[in-house]
Amino acid sequence: MERLEIKGTEDTPSVLFDKQEGIFQMGGRSLPEDVNKFYNPVLAWLDAYAQNPNPSSAFEMRFEYFNTASAKVLLDFFMKLDAIASGKGVAITVDWYYDKNDDDMKEGGEEYADFLSIPFTIKEMDV
């Protein structure tokens, strides 16, 4: 399976998903002009990954900011992870990192965690 690597910009997050290496990271600022154009390749990669996932996968999320449109797509992303874990019986975890001074990012992670059955850990970081 091809690795997905997208370099972050001022308005879009960085993405690095590498099945072979077991690296699943996304973060930065997410306010793309066209949220579907940006996230469709990410969701398509996840759909392909769902066909033959690793026995365990830890997804690391380090967002500085995301807009409402991105929030909806991120929920879709996390729901797909939840479906992979329950449907394929694999261990998937999410580590949600937030700046210790950013209550909005902490609350965002808490809201996502409420929707999911996969382990979703919220971690404070010094930035």
What global pTM score does this model have?
0.94
Percentage of the residues of the chain whose pLDDT score is greater than 90: 94
DSSP states along 13-53: -EEEEETTTTEEEEEEEE--SSHHHHHHHHHHHHHHHHHS-
- Domain positions in the chain are 4-125
Lowest mean pLDDT among 34-38, 69-73, 84-88: 84-88
Instruction: List, for residues 84-117, the tens digit of each pLDDT value.
Output: 999 888 999 999 999 999 999 999 999 999 999 9
Task: Tell me which fold the domain 4-125 belongs to.
Answer: Transcription Regulator spoIIAA (3.30.750)
